[in-house]
Amino acid sequence: MRRLRLIPDDTSIDFFKHAKVTFGASCVAVVLALAVWFTMGLNYGIDFRGGTTLRTQSETPVDVAAYRAAMDGLGLGDISISEVFDPTSDDSKHVAMVRIQAQEGEEAATPEMIEAVQGALKTVAPKIVFTSVESVGPKVSGELIQTAFLAVGASLAAILIYIWLRFEWQFSVGAVAALFHDVILTIGLFSILQIRFDLPVIAAILTIIGYSINDTVVIFDRLRENLRKYKKRALRDVMNISVNETLSRTLMTSGTTLLALIALLVLGGDVIRGFVFAITWGVIVGTYSSVYVAKNVVLFLGVNRDDSKKDNNSGQYANIDA
């Protein structure tokens, strides 16, 4: 029985024919993304700007569109509405979280604002009950921003150390350069499009880092195996062989992931759209950077093939049927 193969087994694409051009384009893109980020800033969501969260409970199902329409005329800025599961509430009750951004000049929600929101929502669900009201000030939100970016930085540092121990320092620098490229381009795109940037997007960025490094490690493992197999061949040639041998696996993994993500992007609704958009973009740039950033860095730095580390587990990723 023949298996479906979208990519032939004997591809011989020269991925590094224009290595300086592709790597240069990536560097320019990163610089532009940083420039946009620092000039335009990010459209921070309620998580990072502070705001008020109201917890509601009603006998009728939560209609997010109707809730939002009822509150549109209040001029409260960014509003996030989502239905949540509450194990402590009665099964017949429908629970929702309504988050409103911090109002200018106000440290916490005013009684007048809360009363206006409650009145608007009661026009949609007359028997709605407000079980709790909580406010997050700008100081706490600022700490959340710092913690979020520290989490991203810590993950990059941990990967740097892991790849250094697993392979060689050149591989480590290449992998982290690719991840830095992915993260900065993602943040830059959110800045250009002014898409809401909140904690779910930070979770998406951490997911992108994990996805991208997985593909990079697969190709690195195949590269290390081929460096021992083709000891007399030039490093660029061995890299091309390694990328071609794992090309089917890379495209199949990225393609099937994108199919699910695009479906979520179209059908998932506003609540998860920013999260899914970030991961979708991350899969695309992560696949690109695994070859045109990580491998280009290793190619430019070179590899000491005589002193390469011996690892009895070599090939545990590379032997994946590609």
Give the C-alpha separation, 236 to 238, whole Å: 5
30-76 tens-digit pLDDT? 999 999 999 988 887 777 777 777 788 887 788 788 888 888 877 77
80-125 tens-digit pLDDT? 787 776 655 566 677 887 877 766 656 556 777 778 888 888 888 8
Say which residue, 21 or 101, is predicted with more confidence. Answer: 21
Of 68-82, 134-148, 218-232, which gets the smallest average pLDDT?
Answer: 134-148
Confidence class for position 253, pLDDT limits 50, 70, 90: confident
pLDDT reported for residue 30: 92
pLDDT reported for residue 270: 66
In the chain, what are the domain boundaries?
Answer: 19-43+141-301, 51-136
Confidence class for position 197, pLDDT limits 50, 70, 90: confident
pLDDT reported for residue 223: 84
Give the C-alpha separation, 216 to 250, whole Å: 10
Confidence class for position 6, pLDDT limits 50, 70, 90: low
297-306 tens-digit pLDDT? 888 887 776 5
CA nearest neighbour of 177 among 288, 15, 307: 288
User: Does 130 score more than 90 pLDDT?
Assistant: no
Structure tokens at 229: 């197999």
Confidence class for position 314, pLDDT limits 50, 70, 90: very low
Provide the CATH number for the domain formed by 51-136 in this structure: 3.30.70.2040
Q: Please give the sequence-ordered ranges of beta strands (E in DSSP) within 40-182, or none if there are none.
A: 43-44, 51-58, 79-84, 94-101, 129-136
Give the C-alpha separation, 66 to 124, whole Å: 7
Of 101-110, 204-213, 311-320, which gets the smallest average pLDDT?
Answer: 311-320
User: Does 9 score more than 90 pLDDT?
Assistant: no
User: Does 320 score more than 60 pLDDT?
Assistant: no
pTM of the model: 0.73
pLDDT reported for residue 208: 85
pLDDT reported for residue 260: 87
Residue carrying the six token digits 């690892």: 311
Confidence class for position 307, pLDDT limits 50, 70, 90: very low
Give the C-alpha separation, 231 to 226, whole Å: 8
Superfamily of structural domain 19-43+141-301: Multidrug efflux transporter AcrB transmembrane domain (1.20.1640.10)
Q: Mean pLDDT of all residues in the chain?
A: 78
Q: Which residues contact 22 (CB under 8 A, 6 or more apart)?
A: 292, 296
